[in-house]
């Protein structure tokens, strides 16, 4: 299966962002004829104030970003993993950070709403508070294309291995992670975590990022990391790019998944530890048993 990862530099400007996404997807199709196109997190809108994001959120199905990607998939006969867009929900003050998957006829085959919300303090003291605007999803999504079982996650989800453990238990061959990692966290954690998830669960890992800077509240420019990459089930980076917008192509061979799992049969060795007793020992004192 051939993937095309679309690395973008989205702004608080939907018209600009959708034109950029459509142009880059068109470039991918004119040169490589991919089986699956992957867009980054927030491909339709990045930055602005919390109220700007609420105002920019659109309906699923039927919104402007949704319809652009649906039409592209249909017209170019290509499946699209539409990174994430801002989804408005009737009667809810908050919005969702939502992935939508379209098959090569433009038919929606599933949605995933981001579960883990990015509420952190960066090394330079900047605060990120996604939960002020976004509500957490409650469901997981796995879909099939080209003989691959594909699992969905978004950006900050990457840090939570239990999510990937749960998805992997359903026989996943490829994880897809649209993201907008900050430059500060990305330089130290991005590749390490992507490779770790591929190695832990013996599956391909495709991570598609935002790059460049965007305008945040107070006219502050915030930098994103870029460096989209594809990792094989052995943990090797088989395709990667830098910090500029563009298209990254990778070809996946399902037999690689089978070969790695055959060499190290982790699924056969995995032990359910949920009922194990935990013994806590204190130096110089008796052990304490925790049920």
* Residues annotated catalytic, as ranges: 41, 114, 155
Q: Taking a C-beta distance cutoff of 8 angstroms, is the pair 222, 126 a contact?
A: yes
For every residue of 15-39, DSSP letters joined together read: HHHHHHHHHHHHHHHHHT--SEEEP
The residues, any chain, with a CB within 8 Å of residue 272's CB and separated by 6 or more, are: none
Query: Alpha-carbon distance 206 to 76, whole Å?
Result: 22
Query: What are 214's two structure tokens?
Result: 């965007």
Is beta strand 127-129 parallel, antiparallel or unpaired with respect to 119-121?
A: antiparallel
Task: Give the number of other CB atoms < 10 A from CB of residue 149.
Answer: 17
Query: Alpha-carbon distance 174 to 151, whole Å?
Result: 6
Question: Longest C-alpha distance within the chain, in Å?
Answer: 71
Query: Alpha-carbon distance 185 to 243, whole Å?
Result: 14
267 backbone φψ class: left, alpha, beta (φ>0; ψ -120 to 50): alpha
Query: What are 176's two structure tokens?
Result: 């897809």
Task: Give the number of other CB atoms < 10 A from CB of residue 146.
Answer: 15
Helix (H, G, I), strand (E, B) or coil at 226: coil
Using a 10 angstrom Cβ sphere, with 0-12 exposed, 13-18 middle and 19 or more buried, the burial of residue 89 is middle
């Amino acid at each position: 299966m051939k993937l095309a990862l679309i690395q973008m530099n989205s702004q608080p400007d939907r018209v600009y962002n959708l034109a950029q996404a459509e142009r880059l997807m068109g470039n991918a199709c004119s040169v490589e004829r991919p089986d699956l196109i992957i867009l980054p997190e927030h491909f339709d809108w990045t930055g602005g104030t919390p109220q700007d994001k609420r105002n920019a959120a659109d309906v699923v199905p039927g919104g402007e970003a949704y319809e652009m990607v649906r039409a592209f998939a249909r017209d170019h006969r290509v499946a699209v993993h539409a990174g994430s867009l801002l989804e408005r929900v009737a009667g809810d003050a908050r919005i969702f950070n939502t992935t939508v998957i379209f098959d090569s006829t433009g038919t929606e085959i599933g949605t995933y709403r981001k579960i883990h919300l990015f509420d952190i303090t960066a090394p330079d003291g900047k605060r990120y508070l996604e939960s002020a605007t976004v509500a957490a999803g409650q469901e997981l999504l796995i879909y099939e294309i080209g003989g691959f079982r594909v699992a969905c996650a978004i950006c900050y989800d990457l840090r939570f291995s239990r999510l990937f453990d749960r998805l992997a238990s359903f026989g996943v061959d490829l994880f897809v992670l649209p993201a907008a990692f900050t430059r500060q966290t990305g330089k130290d954690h991005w590749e390490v975590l992507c490779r770790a998830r591929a190695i832990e669960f013996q599956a391909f890992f495709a991570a598609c990022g935002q790059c460049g800077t965007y305008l945040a509240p107070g006219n502050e420019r915030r930098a994103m990391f870029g460096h989209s990459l594809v990792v094989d089930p052995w943990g090797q980076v088989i395709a990667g790019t830098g910090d500029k917008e563009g298209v990254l192509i990778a070809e996946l061979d399902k037999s690689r998944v089978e070969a790695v799992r055959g060499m190290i049969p982790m699924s056969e060795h995995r032990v359910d530890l949920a009922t194990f007793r935990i013994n806590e020992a204190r130096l110089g004192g008796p052990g304490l048993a925790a049920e």
